[in-house]
Each structure stands twice: as C-alpha cells, then as structure tokens.
C-alpha cells in the first residue's frame, strides 16, 4: 500500500507538468530544496524512480507517467471539492476557470468583464490557446468551461451556441478583387491563401466552403495565430479567411478589405462547452446562464 501525502502528490504533479523543479517551486511557493525533498520522499514511498535526468532536462520514467495520471485525477477531484465548498459560501467567492480559442479572445474579455461586474469578488482564470490545446484541457477535465467555434468531436461534451461567428474573406487594400461585387467562388481557383493551422475551426469552415464549390485554392502560408494571418494578408502575401470579430479594427482603418463574395459571410456560432455530466460550480453555472441568456 502506498503511503503518500496530498502534499507530495501536489508537488509531484507540478514538477511532472512543468518538467522543472524550479518552476514547480515557484508555482508551489516553496524553495527548490523543499521540492526536491518532497519528490525524494515520494520516490522512497513508491519504491521506484519517478524522474530521470538527461543533461539539463528531466523526464518522467514509466512509473512517473503512471503516477502523473493518477495525481492529475486526484488534483482535479480536490479542485472540484474546493469548488463545491466555495459554492456553499455563495457566488461572490467562487473561481471560474475558462479556456477560449485564440479567435474568441477578441470578445471573451468583454463578456467576462460584464460578468465580473455582476460578481466583483469572483476570480477568473482565462486561458487562451489554439483549438487543439483547448480540446486537450477539456479532455483532461482541467477547466470548467471552454469557448469554441466548432463543437468538439470525440469528447463526451455538451455544446451550447450563444453568439454568431461570421467568417469573411480579407485582402490587402490594394488587391485587385477589393472593389468587386458578388465575387463568384470560381475566381478563387488557385488563388493563394494565408490559412490558419490544420484542424482550426476557421480552416475547417474554409475548406468545406471551397470543397462544396469544387474550387481548389493554394495554401501559400499557414499561421498559428490570427494576428500573423492579418499581417501576412496586409503584406500582400495572399488572401485570408478570419472571423469578423478579429478584423474590425483593421477594416475600419483601411488596412484590410473584406471581399464581397457569394456565400460569405459564412454564418457560424460560438459555443460554450463543458464535459458531459460535469458538476459545475455555482460560478461556472452562473456564467453559463449569463451567456445563454444574452
């Protein structure tokens, strides 16, 4: 039988997640020797090495990977217990842990600001990442809620549409198509596009549109952020497809043009997502109700 403490598991989980004793020490507000001592005691209790050092880097051993899985589950259960206990104290003292895809970061802070104005003592942890990283956080049950442009597949989750997401084709101000009206899809045959990464919601919607019109476009560049796409399009390196929410400022200042294309804007929705049967805290439920009532 393992004789380990929650403290040892918490320290181990932090070291395993960061793969760094120093970052874990900073995160746990401990000294590095104290972290090393906790790990040493845990390894003695387990009877197996949990980390190995190669050069200046540390890696999880097979035993370490197994224990990391269980330590994450235990840590999540403790967070849920804390959330439930906080809920008993009332909504004003809760914590909301939410992740959004990078495109949603153009409007999510404003929504959170309005929500926090109603609950001024609520603490919010907002994580911004690409679709893949947000889906992983959902799958690992590390967050309360997520905002995505496309409902997830392969994850036991519930998705609720709450706001329109309009996709537009953008061009540099001097592009030949910038002044045209009702541009047909076939004119984009072999046109160069600056695309988001494979698997992004925007990329999937763009590919579906062109495929339905039997049009083959050329991916001139692939970018992992909306800002990079906008900069490349402004520089004349190709056309782009982005959410209208992300390009309003550039369009207003004349740095980008929205093309008048048949079938655009593509009307999609933003979705609030959480794991199925997840026990939402009072604050998470309140934020869900806040968004869905808008």
User: Over the stretch 226-285, which tens digit does the pLDDT of each residue have?
Assistant: 899 999 999 999 999 999 989 999 999 999 999 999 999 999 899 999 999 888 888 888
**What local confidence, expressed as pLDDT, does residue 90 receive?**
57
* Sole residue written with tokens 């049009």: 215
Inter-residue contact 240 to 220 (CB < 8 Å): no
CB-based burial, 139-165: b 16+ in 10 Å, e otherwise? eebebbbbbbbbebeeeebebeebeeb
Confidence of residue 141 (pLDDT cuts 50, 70, 90): confident
Q: What number is the average pLDDT over the span 76-90? A: 70
Confidence of residue 73 (pLDDT cuts 50, 70, 90): confident
**What local confidence, expressed as pLDDT, does residue 91 receive?**
54
* Cα–Cα distance, 119 to 287 (Å, whole number): 10
Inter-residue contact 269 to 164 (CB < 8 Å): yes
Confidence of residue 88 (pLDDT cuts 50, 70, 90): low
236: helix, strand or coil = coil
**What local confidence, expressed as pLDDT, does residue 50 receive?**
93
Q: In the chain, what are the domains?
A: 6-84 (1.10.10.10), 90-163+270-292 (3.40.190.10), 164-268 (3.40.190.290)
Each residue's pLDDT tens digit, 5-49: 888 989 999 999 999 999 999 999 999 999 999 999 999 988 999
**What local confidence, expressed as pLDDT, does residue 164 receive?**
92
Inter-residue contact 143 to 97 (CB < 8 Å): yes
Q: Where are the alpha helices (DSSP H) in the chain?
A: 6-18, 21-28, 32-46, 62-88, 108-118, 131-139, 201-212, 226-234, 244-252, 282-292
Q: To 5 degrees, how large is the angle CA 153–CA 158–CA 161?
A: 95
* Sole residue written with tokens 């952020």: 225
**What local confidence, expressed as pLDDT, does residue 89 receive?**
58
Each residue's pLDDT tens digit, 177-208: 988 999 999 999 878 999 988 878 788 888 89
Helix, strand, coil percentages (3-state) for the chain, rounded to 5, are 45, 25, 30
> What's the mean per-residue pLDDT of the chain?
89
Q: What number is the average pLDDT over the span 59-72? A: 92
**What local confidence, expressed as pLDDT, does residue 5 receive?**
86
Q: State CA 82 to chain mean position distance.
A: 24
Confidence of residue 209 (pLDDT cuts 50, 70, 90): very high
Q: State CA 143 to chain mean position distance.
A: 10
């Amino acid at each position: 039988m393992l004789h380990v403490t929650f403290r040892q598991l918490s320290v181990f989980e932090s070291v395993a997640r960061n793969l760094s004793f120093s970052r874990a020490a900073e995160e746990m507000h401990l000294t590095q020797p104290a972290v090393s001592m906790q790990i040493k005691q845990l390894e003695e209790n387990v009877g197996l090495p949990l980390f190995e050092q190669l050069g200046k880097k540390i890696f999880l051993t097979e035993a370490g990977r197994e224990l990391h899985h269980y330590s994450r589950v235990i840590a999540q259960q403790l967070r849920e217990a804390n959330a439930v206990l906080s809920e008993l104290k009332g909504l004003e003292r809760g914590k909301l842990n939410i992740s959004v895809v990078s495109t949603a970061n153009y409007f999510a802070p404003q929504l959170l600001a309005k929500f926090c104005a109603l609950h001024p003592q609520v603490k919010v942890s907002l994580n911004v990442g690409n679709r893949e990283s947000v889906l992983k956080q959902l799958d690992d049950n590390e967050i309360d809620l997520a905002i995505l442009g496309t409902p997830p597949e392969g994850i036991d989750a519930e998705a609720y549409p709450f706001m329109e997401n309009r996709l537009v084709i953008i061009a540099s101000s001097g592009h030949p198509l910038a002044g045209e009206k009702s541009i047909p899809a076939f004119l984009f045959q072999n046109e160069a596009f600056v695309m988001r990464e494979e698997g992004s919601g925007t990329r999937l919607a763009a590919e579906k549109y062109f495929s339905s019109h039997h049009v083959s476009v050329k991916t001139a560049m692939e970018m992992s952020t909306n800002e990079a796409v906008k900069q490349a399009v402004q520089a004349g390196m190709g056309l782009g497809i982005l959410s209208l929410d992300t390009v309003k400022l550039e369009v207003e200042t004349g740095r980008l043009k929205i093309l008048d294309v048949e079938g655009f804007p593509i009307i999609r929705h933003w979705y609030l997502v959480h794991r199925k049967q997840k026990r939402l805290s009072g604050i998470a439920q309140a934020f869900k109700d806040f968004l869905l009532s808008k």
